[in-house]
Amino acid sequence: MVTEISKNNLIFLLSAIGLIALPHVKHIAPTVFAFFCLMLTWRFAGVWRPRWLPNKALLFVLTLAGIFLLYSQHQGILGRDAGTRLFMTALALKLLEIKQQRDLYLIVYLTFIVAASQFLYEQNIFMAVYILLTCGVLLATLISLNNTKQDNVLALKTAGVIIVQALPIAIALFMLFPRVEAPRWMVFKDPHQARSGLGDSMEPGSISRLGLSDERVFRVKFAGALPPKNQRYWRGPVLAYTDGKHWKQTQSRFADARRDKIKAQGRAYQYTIMLEPQDKNWVFALDMPTHFADDLSMNANYQLTTHKDPNRRTEYRMTSRLDYNTGEITPDEYRENLQLPKAPIDKIIALVQRLKGFDTAPETFIQALMQHFRQEDFHYTLMPPLMEDKPIETFLFEKRLGFCGHYASAFVYLMRVAHIPARVVTGYQGGEFNQVGKFLEIRQAHAHAWAEVWLQNRGWVRIDPTTAIAPERVEQNVDIEQQIASGAVSFIESDAAQALSWLGDVRQLWGSLDYSWQRWVINYNSANQARFLSSFGIETLRQMLYWLMAIVAFITALLSWLLLRGKNNNTDKVLIVYQRFCRKLGKIGLRRKPGEGAVDFACRIKRACPEHAPAVDVITGLFVKLRYGRHPTQNDWLKLKKQVALFKP
């Protein structure tokens, strides 16, 4: 019956369940979470009013309601969200049918599964600490269930001691146990989870919307010095086809591998990029990548793609050089990058003629067009006006307000009108430098678009029209918080960036801790494990297992010695004091027989000396508690010592 279960234990358990389930409020459907909260509240009320709990008929109706909720949120048999909703609903219903103590054990184990499911959504330090603490409360609940005499505070202390004792072995297993990578088909993906970011097409305003996002895209750690700020272009999709409004990637008909044609020189920048989960297989590299891992490939537009699962956070090591020549292009590539949706209007033709685009060298026309943007009444803004109809013509001759996408698309369009092969390149520019961890953080707000033109003897050359209007966009740090707050673009000087407020310092410290956590804990896969252990001379699986067994055996022996040593010392002190009590009785002829227990000896003493019965009971009770009891205290030891000292037969 429910009344046989300790109220304190039940309240303790229900509180732990509530804490563990709380983070799922932002992970599962509101209706399912509301159902769980209702059942938990109902179960709380039943602690004091057992008659309010549902009978079998009502519980059956509630079960049908839970099944209906799951069916209404149905998104497939397998998957993270489907499994989490199922466990949450099952746990909620099980709370209402607690009848005996074994039901509590089942609920505790089910709650541990719900706690573990949190890591399917969030794997940061905060969540790890939170789940560790809440699981400590759950472990304390198990301790209380097995020892009804122990209060909850002492159970929490015992749970903390157990966790601290288990941590060294857990760390050893984490570092040395062979990492088994799940096959790709076993990784459950959620097709309904949308991720924002760059797409394989661009239209007016698409990139400016990303400028208001603080979402992290990737982090970069350089082996040496960082490249100049105005050279930190992270290459993404290349857009060559346009219908006058949209720019899209094309199905390249030329060779996929172009690395052999690239002639790169100058300083080689070596770095490691940690890419956040995304729904595209793109890897953003510093323009131009020359060396990269075998699991990456370069397409005809010099964009890197990965063969790994993009839904998982992954690290890549690569090398880039900023000074490069891509060489000649094929006839098909030449025609593709001169494509126009229709003949340009007269005002466009007149503008190109005025800037000498038809009768001068391409380099001269590029300079003239950049000067045109610089001298005319063009402005850079994160919130450009809508230009649905003929966006390029409207931008050039009417609005003259735009973000990087407007300038890049207009520039490429005018280049093509002048018969100069050109295309739009999207990606990210710059990055926020973390002074604590010494790495760059690139967020969606750093999304950028620029142009590439093909020039004889130079290959594809990057031209960023944005620098003609807002050179600070690529030369200084973007104040992302200010952008989000005001919807405008704000830049801060590098000197001022060093004098950040304490909030900024805390954010950078947290970012550095999170980066280390992601690199050394979350991304500790078989490859990283092999690299880490090889630095200690551990190369083979057999060596790993030998080291693992040796470390676990050492930790176990050390903990056993510490635990037994403390217990023996405490036992010896108690036994010495009790033997002093026995020697006092021996002086009057009452000697303890071999094998005689303390309780039996006390009974014999009380029969022989009834006047000493109260003192004998106190001393014997304290001795038994200190030597054989579950939770003796220091006060018990001091009391025993005092009673023996006062005892005078």
Strands 241-242 and 447-455: unpaired
Token digits of residue 649: 């037969």
Please pick, among 27, 81, 287, 404, the residue that the annotation labels catalytic.
404
- Out of 81, 287, 464, 514, pick the active-site residue: 464
- Beta bridge pairs of residue 442: 218
- What length does the chain have? 649
**How far, in Å, CA of 88 to CA of 101, rounded?**
21
**What span, in angstroms and rounded, lies between the C-alpha atoms of 500 and 493?**
11
* Cβ partners under 8 Å of residue 583, min gap 6: none
Q: Which of 446, 448, 514, 612 is catalytic?
A: 448
Helix (H) or strand (E) holding 270: strand 263-275
The Cβ of residue 375 has, within 10 Å, a number of other Cβ atoms equal to 9
The number of angstroms, rounded, from the C-alpha of 43 to the middle of its chain's C-alpha atoms is 33
| Interatomic CA distance for residues 97 and 461, integer angstroms | 71
CB 206 within 8 Å of CB 199: yes
Give the whole-angstrom CA distance, residue 379 versus residue 373: 9
Question: How far apart are the C-alpha atoms of 290 and 323, rounded to whole Å?
Answer: 11
How far apart (Å, rounded) are the C-alpha atoms in residues 46 and 2? 9
Instruction: State which amino acid sits at residue 504.
Output: G
Nearby residues of 489 by Cβ (< 8 Å), 6 or more positions away: 211, 380, 381, 382, 470, 473, 478, 483
CB 264 within 8 A of CB 289: no
Positions of E strands within 446-588: 447-455, 459-463, 477-478, 491-492
Q: Is 448 a residue of the active site?
A: yes
Closest to 488 (Cα-Cα) out of 633, 381, 602, 618:
381
Contact 235, 451 (CB under 8 A): no
Q: Whose CA is closest to 407, among 262, 295, 247, 555?
A: 247
Beta strands, E only, 142-224: 201-202, 216-222
Q: Is 446 a catalytic residue?
A: no
Cβ neighbourhood burial of 625 (10 Å; 0-12, 13-18, 19+): middle
Which amino acid would we find at residue 71?
Answer: Y
Tokens 């509530």 belong to 18
**Can 464 be counted among the known catalytic residues?**
yes
Q: How far apart are the first and last CA of the chain?
A: 51
Q: Find, among 439, 399, 493, the residue nearest to 274 by Cα.
A: 439
Question: Residues near 319 by Cβ (< 8 Å), separated by ≥ 6?
Answer: 268, 269, 270, 271, 289, 290, 291, 292
DSSP 311: T
CB 518 within 8 A of CB 274: yes
| CA 143 remoteness from chain centre | 31
Q: Which of 428, 407, 430, 447 is nearest to 235 (CA)?
A: 428
Residue 146 contacts by C-beta under 8 Å, 6 or more apart in sequence?
A: none
Pairing of strands 422-429, 432-434: unpaired
Q: What gap in Å lies between CA 520 and CA 516, rounded to an integer?
A: 6
* Structural tokens at position 215: 């979402």
**DSSP, res 265:** E
The catalytic residues are 404, 448, 464
